């Protein structure tokens, strides 16, 4: 038996979608008629490295794997099994309702933004009373001095009655940052464990991703249901 598989011509003339067991059997018959030789010869002519832009070591490993595989039998088995392979019936409908994936992507991003906006709103509500208190001090300079007395060592050193000794150093620093941001029109940080404690703590990116993923899936599922209903599909 003599099987010659020339990767160079196969890549050029037989895309993966069309290369099948019939082609391999034909190549086998052609080379077998040229002579009786009990060996398997697979010639690549450097095609793997050139066509797929891989290094020689990787190409060598692939060549070894190809030499050890019964390619015609493998392709024949795949062809035989094609009819019984499970097919995701919803894939076709997903392609119809969201052909370019934009609806899915937009829904995912919107969900993430809603989660972060919710966290920001919770933080602002947490510091709302303190913010009103800061504004009541008069000018911005007076308000900034008030923050210093409440949350820095300066307030401790001068014995200010406003110094927040009931807080840890970390909580004082966070309060100073958030209240200063509100006072000066900046953005609060959403990594605030104190303001978000009652709502489960700061956003966990894995949880945020899971929620956004589910929102996107639910949106596509709803569109598929609408499509089926409109077209009388069970």
pLDDT of residue 33: 43
Question: Both 44 and 109 in a single domain?
Answer: no
- The 10s digit of each residue's pLDDT in 118-154 is 999 999 999 999 999 999 999 999 999 999 999 999 9
Alpha carbon distance 61, 67 (integer Å) = 10
Buried b (16+ CB within 10 A) or exposed e, 90-128: eeebbeebbeeeebbeebbeebbeebeeebbeebeebbe
- The 10s digit of each residue's pLDDT in 39-80 is 334 444 355 455 445 456 655 555 555 455 445 554 455 455
In a domain, 17, yes or no: yes
Which of 24, 55, 84 represents a domain boundary (last residue)?
84
How confident is the model over 176-185, as a mean pLDDT?
Answer: 97
Which of 35, 57, 84 represents a domain boundary (last residue)?
84
Alpha carbon distance 22, 18 (integer Å) = 10
Question: Both 106 and 167 in a single domain?
Answer: yes
In a domain, 217, yes or no: no
Q: How many domains does the chain have?
A: 2
Question: Both 43 and 69 in a single domain?
Answer: yes
pLDDT of residue 4: 35
In a domain, 20, yes or no: yes
Question: Both 141 and 78 in a single domain?
Answer: no
Which of 40, 57, 84 represents a domain boundary (last residue)?
84
Question: Both 106 and 204 in a single domain?
Answer: yes
Question: Both 138 and 187 in a single domain?
Answer: yes
In a domain, 216, yes or no: no
In a domain, 215, yes or no: no
In a domain, 223, yes or no: no
pLDDT of residue 24: 38
In a domain, 160, yes or no: yes
Which of the pair, 95 or 57, is modelled with greater confidence?
A: 95
Question: Is 155 a residue whose pLDDT tops 90?
Answer: yes
Question: Both 38 and 113 in a single domain?
Answer: no
Which of the pair, 159 or 33, is modelled with greater confidence?
A: 159
Question: Both 140 and 198 in a single domain?
Answer: yes
Alpha carbon distance 181, 130 (integer Å) = 12
Question: Both 139 and 171 in a single domain?
Answer: yes
Range of the domain at 19: 7-84
Question: Both 108 and 191 in a single domain?
Answer: yes
pTM: 0.58
| Bridge partners, 4 (sequence order) | 41
Question: Both 111 and 68 in a single domain?
Answer: no
Angle at 29 between CA 34 and CA 19, to 5 degrees: 130
Question: Both 120 and 148 in a single domain?
Answer: yes
pLDDT of residue 91: 80
Are the beta carbons of 127 and 182 closer than 8 angstroms?
yes
Question: Is 159 a residue whose pLDDT tops 90?
Answer: yes
């Amino acid at each position: 038996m003599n099987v010659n598989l020339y990767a160079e011509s196969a890549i050029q003339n037989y895309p993966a979608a069309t290369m099948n067991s019939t082609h391999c059997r034909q190549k086998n018959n052609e080379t077998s008629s040229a002579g009786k030789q009990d060996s398997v010869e697979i010639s690549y002519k450097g095609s793997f490295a050139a066509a797929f832009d891989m290094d020689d070591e990787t190409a060598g490993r692939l060549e070894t794997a190809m030499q050890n595989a019964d390619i015609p039998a493998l392709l024949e088995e795949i062809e035989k099994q094609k009819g019984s392979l499970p097919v995701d019936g919803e894939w076709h409908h997903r392609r119809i309702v969201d052909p370019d994936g934009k609806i899915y992507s937009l829904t995912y991003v919107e969900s993430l933004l809603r989660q972060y906006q919710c966290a920001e709103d919770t933080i602002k509500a947490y510091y709302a009373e303190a913010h009103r208190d800061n504004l009541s001090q008069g000018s911005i300079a007076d308000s900034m001095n008030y923050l210093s007395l409440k949350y820095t060592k300066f307030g401790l050193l001068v014995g200010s009655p406003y110094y927040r000794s009931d807080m840890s150093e970390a909580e004082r620093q966070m309060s100073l940052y958030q209240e200063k941001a509100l006072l000066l029109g900046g953005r609060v940080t959403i990594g605030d464990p104190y303001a978000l404690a009652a709502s489960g703590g700061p956003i966990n990116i894995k949880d945020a991703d899971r929620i956004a993923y589910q929102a996107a899936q639910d949106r596509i599922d709803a569109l598929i249901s609408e499509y089926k209903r409109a077209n009388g599909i069970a």
